[in-house]
Structure 1
Amino acid sequence: MAENRLIQRRYRLLGTIGRGGMGEVWRARDESLGRQVAVKCLKPMGPRHEPSFLQVLRERFRREARVAAALQHRGITVVHDFGEDDGTLFIVMELLSGRNLSQLLDDNRRQPLPVADLMEIAEQVTAALAYTHEQAIVHRDLKPANIVRTADGTVKICDFGIARLGHDIGFTARLTGTGIAMGSPHYMSPEQIGAHGVDHRSDLYSLGCVLYEIATGVPPFDLGDAWAVLVGHRDLAPEPPRTLRPDLPEAYERIVLELLAKDPDDRPRDAHELGKRLADARHPHPGRDVAAGPDELTVPARWLPSWTRGMSLGAPAGLARRPHGHPADEAATVLTDTWTGWGGGPQGGEAPPDAGIASPAPPDDHRATLAALAGRHTAALNLGRLGRWEEAGEAHRALATERERLLGPDHPDTLTSRLEGGHTASRLGRSFEAHQIYAEVLAGRERALGPDHPDSLSCRHHVALNLGRLGRLEDCLAMTHEVAEARARVLGPQHPDTLATLFELAHVLGKLGRYAEALHTHRDVAAARTATLGPGHPDTLAARYEVGIGLGRLGDSAGAVALYRDLAAACAAARSADDPETLRARHGLGVNLGRQNRWQEALVEAREVAATRGRVLGPDDPDTLVSRREAAVALGWLGRWDEALDLYREVADARERALGAAHLDTLASYGDLAQCLEQLGSADEAAALHRRIAALRQERAARRR
């Protein structure tokens, strides 16, 4: 393959990323959408191979594309396109910014990764495997080189080149019959080696090999030649990891050794069971039987991989710009009406019949203690509103412990404090920790209040949202649908909480690629919110904005243009012409004008929005820079590359000042700038910029370690 080659008149190859047995991977530019992508091309084999051999390779390559394109999960590399160009088969994938696990070990001089990183990688890969196995897909070649940890800490499985659809046994047999190696020796399960039936438990064995290696620095059977390695998998017991790394928690060692069981029946039943085991190893439950050894408790919940520090998630979709005090927020944050066991709000009052309190009123010192806890609750909420999530989390955890001591584990206010701890964990990117908290709070609320109580349904709503953050989109969809139905039954179909869950349901449908269903649901929510909350309510406007996104996704840019014009006018009437929501709608208008090739109008809109955002939000605000970049894109499509270059430079410089040279947004701006330089014929300067981008990415990876 030649650098700068244009594949299918759309994907320009810029430089090789890597080579392997199946082919070579290139960094490329999608000329149509102006984005960087990865293109995997079938490696030219030459005339020495039999036509039937080449045909099997081509069939396998197409199979990789079909399998991978059907998968939609945050832990699996996204496939954008595939096809054939001048005899070359290719797949277009998202371009990942990060390092695969093999590279991470090499970067660390083959030293084991930190325990907290091991846990996080194991849990994320397990979640992705649970999803793929639910789709009846077995990867069959899981190894460190096929698992990438991206710059933001997301762990993704790559390369489904020899994945097997569960119902397609005949094709797998044909592939195996050609004698083509199926898997990598250091990570092959005994059943793969013995040509026995292979199912999802083979992937679990391979995952055990991967986890063993990143925990100890060496694979479980590092025996010199490939044949000896295969015999080791089939006949030898692996050396316990703790003999190579004594600080490894015993619970983690036990999981790895069970994954490496020779008999598939002796391994965890499936990835879901493995996920629960890993969660228990990270967060042991008080009172759990730890007869197997005290090291069961050696992985405290506070341990986090280095890349998670300082991370935060945005608010749930539809709530990002909701003002404080909105009813849907209050349901998750305020105390119950009877926040003490005595019904003791500021007005005092009698105990509820089921409070279980013998005395009609607390002693004065006890009342003062409970009042102090109420003040601490408010203070913790305010820390969160200020963005001080670490402090807020510590405050909520301490408060939950104190309330449990005074009020009991299932008291509504104890559970409220624990729920807030889950929210802060989610804000900090600790989705697995948040999931455990939400699940425990849900169990407590259902015991105390019943499954259909609004507080129980509110907690189930949060559990569902967090499943999406964990990449378990199908589980998220199913639970969100259940919560929506239950809220409609208990609260009514047009209650704001019911509509909030339906809004999230539409969001998940979109993430799963079910755009038509997502659009239909967002339209229903927008109509219901218009009727119940009014056309100018923030939630109504948020739903209408999502309708515009759906129209654009489905290619109805004309419909999106009309909607965004109306939405901008509605936002301006409800707020002001300079309000951020008005400008967001106008930004969507400009994007869809571009999709209609109305680039001159798109340019005018982008420039006006950028100027207003600069005045209202500041010249270096992220939204301002996004609009300025949109203006540069329009200039490029109009052939005015000199003007576009100036804008791209300004955006890159501003992002570097505000975020630093190695920030992902800054690197994306450098990429835009390099592409513009190429269009202007400044190939040397563009190449130098690409080299700088590569160096900054390496620097970013080194800092993260």
Structure 2
Amino acid sequence: MTAAAGRVVAGRYELSTLIGQGGMGQVWTAYDRRLDRRVAVKLLRPDKVAGAEADELRRRFVRECRITAQVDHPGLVTVHDAGSEGEELFLVMQYVDGADLSDHLAEHDPYPWQWAVAVAAQLCAVLSAVHAVPIVHRDLKPRNVMVKQDGTVTVLDLGVASVMDADTTRLTHTGTPIGSPAYMAPEQAMGGAVGPYTDLYALGVLLHELLSGDVPFAGSTALGVLHRHLYEPPLPVRRIRPEVPEALEALVLRLLAKDPQHRPDSAQEVYEHLALLLPALGVPTGGPLDPTRPFVRPHAPWPDRARTPAPQPAPVPPAAEAAKPDVARAVDDVKRLLGEGRITQAVDVLGAILPAAAEQHGERSPVVRTLRRQYAATLMDDGQYRRALPELRRLADERAAEAGQADPQCLRHRYDAAQCLEQLGEPAAALAEYRALLPYYENQYVAGDPDLAHDVRRRIGHLLLALGDRAAAHDTLARLLHDVERVHGPGHPLAADIRRTLQWLGRMHG
């Protein structure tokens, strides 16, 4: 079977975007249709499961699934599912939102040495858990490390990991060692036995790269790189960046020792050295993706939803990159997804198609307006109120400029925006918005809607309670109860709900 966007694996995981491809297979972002969530799916390529190598590759993949699942650490990607489909094998993992360390390094030149220390310290915690199994990762490198929005680090791909008590000397069928040459320890390059010390060497390479901007040993061929690992000394990082602390330079050189016995004894020991260089508790100076944050404010909530917008999901590309996106087809896909209750995926399809629709039809066209309204509504259905709010405000402002403040569509967008503010824990702002809307809904000559007016008044009463103004809340709700009973009778559900609230208020006052 071939992997392509839209294909459903195991009747459940719909492939979306190819995000990685290597010797063992491909990694895709995907959607879990059953739980309506984003996941990452790793596939073992069918053309690799063939001939004499089939059994070995299958064994390695099954081992990866089992081993990855048995290591419990927040710094390791979570395994959700694993299995086979025909001759193809799949591993379903947690989708990690952030930047891989290689891209993070490229975007920050020079990389702050404090960040390098924080990343390495977090990696030490992960390696300690991995080595305790005992497992050797064998392929620690920036592309296998993700920095999340809150600054925490997640290690990906134990795909070339090995259980140490069996088969610790590992070569591929082509006779080359398993791993990436630039990060490969001398003993690994020689095809010798590997252990935790092998991962510590890779950690040294990674630290050197973060501090200097380049790996210690590079070359035009893999063989040339491996030769340098074996015989050349690394360049001390302070010759490139004198501001790096001497203790950190010394630690990197120890990690890069040719002889495993000359390296630190464990990831725990490396952590203890790094801990002396970590920033003290306090207020973080950086924004998202700051790896010092977990140490500066450990266990602090993230993101700060009062100030930080929710991260944008990765866009879903068209099936053929050169072709123009099919807006009509995307709209049909969204209708189908919403009908199936797959709201998260519908949000991503809408978000990805909006720029193309604006380019094809114009930003103010009815098609784009309809898409934007659907996008905002779908974001609300998905509970993404922080992202829905600016969309709704923009829609309301544009409609007001064209048709006036009393236009029903404009009022509906403002009402939805007020609900977003309510859900985001901003009662004062929500209260102000509802109070501004109420005269329009109570005016029968403008947009009179008694039921919606009653709902707005109920919300105002509850927001007054939230803000601690019990007297005003009681007065608002008592007047509302009188009006609801007059219009709908005392048995109406809204009347019963208001009576319960007023009774509770009476008990609290008593």
1:469-618 equivalence runs, <5 A = none
Q: 1:657 to 1:81 in 2, by over 3 A?
A: closer
Contact 2:140–2:203 under 8 Å retained in 1? yes
Amino acid at match of 2:378: Y
Picking from 375, 386, 394, the partner of 1:655 is 386
State the distance in 1 between where 2:288 and 2:146 align: 16
Q: 1:62 to 1:180 in 2, by over 3 A?
A: farther
State the distance in 2 between where 1:35 and 1:145 align: 24
Unaligned runs of 5+ in 2: 302-309, 311-337, 347-370, 393-510
Contact 2:27–2:41 under 8 Å retained in 1? yes
Secondary structure of the 1:68 match is helix
Q: TM-score scaled by structure 1? A: 0.43
State the distance in 1 between where 2:94 and 2:198 align: 27
State the distance in 2 between where 1:434 and 1:94 align: 25
State the distance in 1 between where 2:42 and 2:29 align: 9
Can you list the C-alpha shifts for 1:188-212, whole angstroms capped at 9, x where unaligned?
1111122222110110001100110
- Deviation of 1:116 after TM superposition, in Å, equals 2.0
Contact 1:117–1:305 under 8 Å retained in 2? no
1:446-457 equivalence runs, <5 A = none
Contact 2:33–2:342 under 8 Å retained in 1? no
Q: 1:100 to 1:174 in 2, by over 3 A?
A: closer
Amino acid at match of 1:100: D
Residue 248 of structure 1 corresponds to: 244
State the distance in 1 between where 2:88 and 2:13 align: 13
Picking from 30, 33, 45, the partner of 1:31 is 33
State the distance in 2 between where 1:657 and 1:15 align: 24
Alignment pair present for 1:40 and 2:42: yes
- Deviation of 1:241 after TM superposition, in Å, equals 0.8
State the distance in 1 between where 2:155 and 2:179 align: 15
Point out 4+ residue stretches in structure 1 off by more than 4 angstroms.
Answer: 172-178, 300-305, 428-431, 635-647, 657-661
- Deviation of 1:15 after TM superposition, in Å, equals 1.8
State the distance in 1 between where 2:341 and 2:281 align: 54
Q: 1:15 to 1:176 in 2, by over 3 A?
A: closer
Alignment pair present for 1:141 and 2:139: yes
Amino acid at match of 1:201: Y
Two-structure CA RMSD over aligned residues (Å): 3.6
1:316-327 equivalence runs, <5 A = none
State the distance in 1 between where 2:246 and 2:284 align: 18
- Deviation of 1:639 after TM superposition, in Å, equals 10
Residue 237 of structure 1 corresponds to: 233
Can you list the C-alpha shifts for 1:349-402, whole angstroms capped at 9, x where unaligned?
xxxxxxxxxxxxxxxxxxxxxxxxxxxxxxxxxxxxxxxxxxxxxxxxxxxxxx
Can you list the C-alpha shifts for 1:518-538, whole angstroms capped at 9, x where unaligned?
xxxxxxxxxxxxxxxxxxxxx
Q: 1:225 to 1:211 in 2, by over 3 A?
A: same
- Deviation of 1:162 after TM superposition, in Å, equals 1.1
Q: TM-score scaled by structure 2? A: 0.58
- Larger helix percent: 1
- Deviation of 1:276 after TM superposition, in Å, equals 0.5
Q: 1:53 to 1:95 in 2, by over 3 A?
A: same
Amino acid at match of 2:151: G
What is the percentage of aligned positions where both structures have the same residue? 38
Contact 1:242–1:248 under 8 Å retained in 2? yes
Residue 74 of structure 1 corresponds to: 74
- Deviation of 1:649 after TM superposition, in Å, equals 4.0
Residue 96 of structure 2 corresponds to: 96
Contact 2:379–2:387 under 8 Å retained in 1? no
Alignment pair present for 1:215 and 2:217: no
State the distance in 2 between where 1:163 and 1:193 align: 16
Q: 1:127 to 1:649 in 2, by over 3 A?
A: closer
Picking from 270, 274, 277, the partner of 1:281 is 277
Q: 1:166 to 1:305 in 2, by over 3 A?
A: farther
- Deviation of 1:434 after TM superposition, in Å, equals 7.2
Contact 2:217–2:234 under 8 Å retained in 1? yes
State the distance in 2 between where 1:174 and 1:210 align: 22
1:84-233 equivalence runs, <5 A = 84-108=84-108, 111-169=109-167, 172-173=168-169, 176=172, 179-233=175-229
Can you list the C-alpha shifts for 1:136-157, whole angstroms capped at 9, x where unaligned?
1110111111111112211111
Amino acid at match of 2:286: S
- Deviation of 1:158 after TM superposition, in Å, equals 0.7
Amino acid at match of 1:656: R
Residue 567 of structure 1 corresponds to: none
Residue 258 of structure 2 corresponds to: 262
Amino acid at match of 1:52: A
State the distance in 2 between where 1:66 and 1:32 align: 23
Number of residue pairs the alignment of both structures matches? 330
State the distance in 1 between where 2:226 and 2:287 align: 36
Q: 1:638 to 1:306 in 2, by over 3 A?
A: closer
State the distance in 2 between where 1:76 and 1:184 align: 20
Amino acid at match of 1:655: R
State the distance in 1 between where 2:201 and 2:34 align: 42
Picking from 7, 10, 21, the partner of 2:9 is 7
Amino acid at match of 1:244: I
Structure with the greater relative contact order (CA < 8 A, sep ≥ 6): 1 or 2?
2
- Deviation of 1:80 after TM superposition, in Å, equals 0.6
- Deviation of 1:302 after TM superposition, in Å, equals 6.3
